Amino acid sequence: MSPVQITAGFNPLRLPSDRRLNRIAGPSGLIIFGVTGDLSRKKLMPAVYDLANRGLLPPGFALVGFARREWEDQDFAQVVHDAVKQYSRTPFDEDVWNQLATGIRFVQGEFDDAAAFGRLKETIDELDRDRGTMGNHAFYLSIPPKSFPQVTEQLRNSGLAEQKDGQWRRVVIEKPFGSDLVTARELNDVVESVFPPDSVFRIDHYLGKETVQNILALRFANQLYEPIWNANYVDHVQITMAEDVGVGGRAGYYDGIGAARDVIQNHLLQLLALTAMEEPVSFEASHLRAEKEKVLSAVRLPKDLAAHTARGQYSGGWAGGEKVIGFLDEEGMNPQSTTETYAAMRLDIDTRRWAGVPFYLRTGKRLGRRVTEIAVVFKRAPQYLFEESQTAALGQNALVIRVQPDEGVTIRFGSKVPGAGMQVRDVTMDFGYGHAFTEASPEAYERLILDVLLGDPPLFPRHEEVELSWKILDPIEEFWATQGQPEQYRPGTWGPASADDLMARDGRTWRRP
């Protein structure tokens, strides 16, 4: 009997009875606010097309754009067409496009224009009649967070958020989910006053990446790792998200936000939770969230924040063979800005599994290379059999989960060097998605948009997780606010010297990916 082949779109979090079949969204429509932005053009529109191209959307699927531009339906359709041609993952198919294009609509209006939301309701009602969307619609708020309250209120006042029997209405929110605990709670109160909690989907696109979900498979589908995934064997864990680019055109947004709020509060703390959580009862959303919330509740901040946190700003210099300007010289940047472009910190988790195991988180811009990884570094084995000279080149065993760009897993361990003597040094075994599977991984937004349409929320954090994350980060941000200007670091390096000092105090060093 030949092995069952798992087809494109298979989600390890969902096990259908026939694993050769994909789950296809039912009758539905997607309304995107902010369709003129980069996120919509580069990610959302191509993801919708790719889902259609893979046969995962219903024939009558509808895509509606809402923006202030004075466009007709055909103008918006051309914008979608151009975005799809440039950015879609799957090949362009004229038949697929023609089918999708028949359901594309556009509504012109401002967020404060009640009449525009009335026209949007008329458009949706027409789609229900003519396209068979059956009253099932998701509102994707690809807009600045300050506009969330206004748009959600308009959705309520116009009746667009109303869910009648047998229908659903959902809202999708992009990060950031607030700028601190207070604003996150205010945002949650506003959104959940209009939509039930189970109809609110907070998108963290990192959670849609194949390798992030593979953390669960790696840990819980294998006997090899879970028995040693604890303080008895693990020395420490490093979670890194590094970028080799600067803030560029995002200077206005980035100033006042910074690396910790932009990346650590959401992406890295979610990776920490998935790495450290206990085995859930099932992969149902409620069970996954419960275990992640336990981990985040158990996170303990270092007593000495000066010694165990670090922040920096990239200066001007050379990176990637070209001369680049410093953060404070970026266009639109306040030259006195104290916003960090690099952040690092030590966190501990007060549970039986992780007591005494530090988790080191770091993120930054203009670093040595673009990489996101989770490195589980193990304690050294007893070396009494070997002379010190024989293991001088042997480091600590490590399991490294590469989230991007070269998705896969690397295991570092010691092996004898060929020859007469007994010399042991580090070697690696590598698993890469591109080598092991012929099927290309879907983009994160493909998976997340499909999950919204299916009403399948395991990959979406609830407001409890968001608030717990802010409880972790807020004291660090408040401490940094008293510290003046961040330390400068050269582009192309791995951050400020204070970050290396943070590790050195614990007798450890950062990995150089």
Q: How is residue 34 written in tokens?
A: 């902010």
Residue 111 assigned as binding residue: yes
Q: How is residue 449 written in tokens?
A: 């948009």
Residue 68 assigned as binding residue: yes
DSSP H or E stretch at residue 449: helix 444-454
Residue 463 assigned as binding residue: no
Residue 262 assigned as binding residue: yes
Residue 205 assigned as binding residue: yes
DSSP 417: P
Residue 71: name the closest of 113, 121, 111, 35 by CA.
35
Residue 359 assigned as binding residue: no
DSSP 284: S
Residue tagged active-site, from 137, 236, 267, 308: 267
Quote the CA–CA distance of 132 and 103 in Å, as a whole number. 10
Residue 366: name the closest of 347, 340, 384, 386 by CA.
340
Residue 260: name the closest of 317, 324, 341 by CA.
341
The question of whether 236 is a catalytic residue gets the answer no
Quote the CA–CA distance of 429 and 398 in Å, as a whole number. 11
Residue 303 assigned as binding residue: no
CA distance to 21, 134, 458, 473, per residue, from 177 (Å): 35, 31, 18, 13
Cβ atoms within 10 Å, residue 82: 12
Q: Please give the backbone phi and psi of residue 509, each rounded to the nearest 5 degrees, phi first.
A: -135, 155
Quote the CA–CA distance of 95 and 91 in Å, as a whole number. 12
Binding site listing: 68, 110-111, 175, 205, 209, 243, 262, 365
Active-site positions read: 267
Q: Which residues are annotated as a binding site for substrate?
A: 205, 209, 243, 262, 365
- Annotated binding residues for NADP(+), written as ranges, equal 68, 110-111, 175
